[in-house]
Structure 1
Amino acid sequence: MSSQQEQEPRGPFGWADRNYRIQTAATVVSGLGNAGAPIATAFAVLESGGNTTNVGYVTAARLVPLVLLLLVGGTLADRLPRHRVMVAANLFNALSQLTLATLVLTGGVRLWQLALLAAAGGAGQAFYGPAAEGLLMQTVPKESAATAFSVFRMAQNGAQIGGAALGGALVAAVGPGWVLGIDALAYAAAAGLRFLLRVPAAQAGPDRSSLVHELREGWREFVGRRWLWAVVLQFSVVMTCITAVEAVYGPVIAQQRLGGARSWGVAMAAFGVGLLSTGLLMARWQPRRLLLVGNYGVFLFALPGLALALHAPLAPVCGAMFASGAGVTVFGVNWMIALQQEIPTELMSRVSAYDALGSLALTPVGTALAGPAADALGLDGATWTCAAVTLLLAAAAPVVPEVRRLSRTAAAPSPVRETVAAG
């Protein structure tokens, strides 16, 4: 079959090739388990006698190896077949979550064990994330990028809705250990699906360049684009604030005055509904100023912190979480299109790793300090601070001219897809 025949439309989803469909299905499977795992981990800490500070420490323990290993994971994903990196990372995460679930279910889990196994989960994610993003962007045609990324996010976010609601309900009904066990099974099932991925020709074997040389290549690409590092710098603080609110303060406040794990699961599900419903909009809306429009969504990230600081009941908290989820999709789809449009395919995993590293660099420290900050400022003061800082940074980002001006370009044929089809 010729390259031209291979790329002829095959209905409204003709752009969705085999790798895209498998990745989407695997993401749904793993997402159903992953969405409930943070809720289960937080309440496992609280049920074992921990407090707000301990929840922050365990959350930070997951983030530290994630930050430290992202560059290695991104470089390996550009050197090796990306699907093999993804499968290995999924299996590693399945083993770590199964071990954690066993400890929680047997009733003998200690804080250091929770932290250690959370760290193992972060290490696996450091290798999985850059490989997954690189392969997804590699198989999505530029002319269908907005639709493809929106559909992918809708599937991902739909899984988060169900997973968060189910996870919160199960934590309340049978305890966090079973939810962590479900997450382990979901990782294993996702690994099985991703094993079926077919690696494009450009990813057939390792590059002979040194690891340091490839890291330098990715760094030059990253720092050479001011819009890229400016937004990543913004997110290094924004991610710290929203992680503190959603992973530390939210579960503690839910336990104190919103009804416990079930209620926080409903709030997280509302966040997922916001993600999902806005995906329908982004599948059709193609704003010209990608980053400027995406940054409008960042303002919505502050709403959950504001709702919690105002002692809002569950319904308004869910409304704030819904709006925050909508903001994440508005930003995320535009950001992915900007990366795919501007970054060479062969550097995508490395640039994605620098993106994630910069965005998460401060999060472990900020999350670890979330408990002491709540002790010093009170929960209300801490959540107010997170919301205010997020709003301030959302207002500051458009000061950078490239953030205001970066525009969508005319779609160009994907050279990787042509290579795969011709082969």
Structure 2
Amino acid sequence: MTSKAGPSPLRDRRFRWYFASRAIDLLGNMMGGIALSFAVLTVSDSPEALGAVLAAHSIPMVLLLLVGGVLADRFGRTLVIQLSNVTAGTTALVIAILVITGNAQVWELIALEAVNGVAAAAGQPALAGLVPQLAPEGSLQQANALNGLLRNITLVFGPAIGGALVVGVGPGWAIAIDAGTYFVAAALLLPIKLPPPPARGAGDSIVRDLRTGWTFFRTTSWLWIIVLAFGVLNALSSGGFSTLGPPLAKSTEIGVDGWALIVSAGALGLVCTSLVLLRLPLRRPLLLGMLGCAVYSIQMIALGTTTELAVLMAAAFVAGAGIEIFGLGWDLAMQEHVPPDMLSRVYSYDMLGSFVAIPAGQLLFGPLGGSFGLQRMILLAGIAYAAVSLLTLLSGSVRGMTRAPVRSTTSAPAS
């Protein structure tokens, strides 16, 4: 790393519009997740009903990510994001009306969340591919670090605001406010003008676009190695930390309040590291990123060996710092080493491979923790997480990747 910083992306008018849109969008998402959960519980007290509604969103999102990546590369990322936001805002508004009027039924919420999941499948790859089109030359790391800082701040405050709205005005009105944020976020992208996507030939179909993206993915060793690793890493963290951590806290002196402090310490680590990375460029994005992943395992290793709250909070802070370094390193690797015209498609393959095993971790670690002990399984998950992270560095393409030369991704300065 070096302390030399690039120009601030916020000097660019288009990036400022994007950043404002993203801020509103992220805040709405964080609030909306809390509001939706309690809205479902007002319709049915059944945990199975809540699980069904949440799954109705995640399943189509995962299944259609690849198509979403193709649409973003074909029709323009801002347009796809706007359509995704308007669709999500409309479904949220219908849910809000049903809940407020007392007419909501679980099957209706499932159907509406499925539509919302389809919209998310289109929007996520488009969002991932938009940043390098808007960041001024030489400021790609700063643009991604600002995005990370924004995401982490909303991660800290968004759920609290959502909870306050649920208590203050009720879950239905909280979802209505969430719906409004989608429409505002879409409108804020209107001033952004980008060159149209490359013209497509008569034989260019969605299937052909998918094949082109897949060919790049499978022939790029650093790419498939990291995605394969994260298929395992996400299963380990979702199972070992997110699934087994809360019941361990509840059954020990850590307690529910202690668990909240641990999660908050991790979020603070994310925020602080985002601020640091605005000034310290990553010259070896994947080497430092995968070392950051290995550091993230400290959180699970500590939880698997002690219930001392101060130690666990410190470990969570360090873990948050480590995973934030990976997040920035990964975005830089993707945005600088993947051709711009297929970036959203490649991101969609990344998301699919990284997300697909999360339910397996959530389902497997519960029974394993019950059979072999919660702390033992959390510790094993932490050790495995560190081992998988470090094994990726055996690849020269991962270990040796450096930052690419600056390339122009915007059509003209827009200050």
- TM-score, structure 2 as length reference: 0.82
Matches within 5 A, 1:235-250: 235-244=230-239, 248-249=243-244
**What is the CA distance between 1:286 and its match in structure 2?**
2.2
What is the DSSP-based 3-state SS (H/G/I as helix, E as strand, rest coil) of the residue aligned with 2:406?
coil
CA distance in 2, matches of 1:180, 1:314: 35
Aligned to 1:184: 179
Q: After superposition, where does 1:11-410 map in structure 2 within 5 Å?
A: 12-13=7-8, 16-40=11-35, 48-50=44-46, 59-101=54-96, 116-168=111-163, 179-198=174-193, 200-203=194-197, 208=202, 209-244=204-239, 248-249=243-244, 268-306=263-301, 309=304, 312=307, 318-369=313-364, 371-373=366-368, 376=371, 379-380=374-375, 383-409=378-404
Separation in 2 of the partners of 1:58 and 1:267? 28
Percent identical residues? 35
1:253–1:89 distance in 2 versus 1, CA, 3 Å? farther
- Residue 380 (structure 1) shift: 4.4
Shift of 1:85: 0.8
Conserved in 2, the CA contact under 8 Å of 1:160 and 1:269?
Answer: no
Deviation at 1:305, TM superposition (A): 4.0
208-217 or 189-198, larger mean C-alpha shift = 189-198
Instruction: Kindly state the Cα deviation for residue 294 of structure 1 after the two structures are TM-superposed.
Output: 0.6
Q: 1:32 deviation in Å? A: 1.6
Please tell me whether the aligned partners of residues 301 and 328 of structure 1 are also in contact (alpha carbons under 8 angstroms): yes
Which runs of 5 or more residues in structure 2 are unaligned?
1-5
Is this contact kept in 2: 1:80–1:206, CA < 8 A? no
- Partner amino acid, structure 2, of 1:86: I
Residue by residue over 1:190-217, the C-alpha shift from the partner in whole angstroms, topping out at 9 and shown as x without a partner, is: 122123332x214387665211111111
Worse overlay, 94-103 or 135-144: 94-103
The secondary structure found in structure 2 opposite 1:203 is coil
Q: CA deviation at 1:256?
A: 7.0
Structure 1 101/318 Cα, relative in aligned 2: closer, same or farther at 3 Å?
farther
Q: Deviations over 1:271-313 (max 9, x none)?
A: 3332221112212222332211011111243345456556747
Q: Does the CA contact (< 8 Å) of 2:66 and 2:352 recur in 1?
A: yes
Structure 1 stretch displaced more, 340-349 or 103-112: 103-112
Q: Work out whether residues 9 and 139 of structure 2, in 8 Å CA contact, stay in contact via their aligned partners in 1.
A: no
Letter in structure 2 aligned against 1:341: E
Displacement after TM superposition at 1:353 (Å): 1.0
Distance 2:308 2:36 in 1: 24
**Equivalent-residue separation in structure 1 for 2:327 and 2:151 (angstroms):** 12
| TM-score using structure 1 length | 0.80
Greater shift after overlay, 285-294 or 37-46? 37-46
1:242 and 1:22, CA in 2 relative to 1: closer, same or farther beyond 3 A?
A: farther
Whether the aligned pair in 1 keeps the contact of 2:9 and 2:142 (CA below 8 Å) is no
Contact 1:80 1:205 in 2 (8 A): no
CA RMSD after TM alignment? 3.7
The SS at the match of 1:159 is: helix
Paired residues in the alignment total 406
Q: What secondary structure, in the 3-state scheme, does the structure 2 residue paired with 1:412 have?
A: coil
Q: Using a 3 Å threshold, how does the CA distance of structure 1 residues 254 and 183 change in structure 2: closer, same or farther?
A: farther
Secondary structure of the structure 1 residue equivalent to 2:64? helix
Cα deviation, residue 122, structure 1:
2.9
Over 3 Å counting, the alpha-carbon distance change for 1:28 and 1:304 in structure 2 is: farther
Does residue 413 of structure 1 match 2:402? no
Cα distance change on mapping 1:355 and 1:143 into 2, 3 Å = same
Q: Which moved more, 1:347-356 or 1:310-319?
A: 310-319
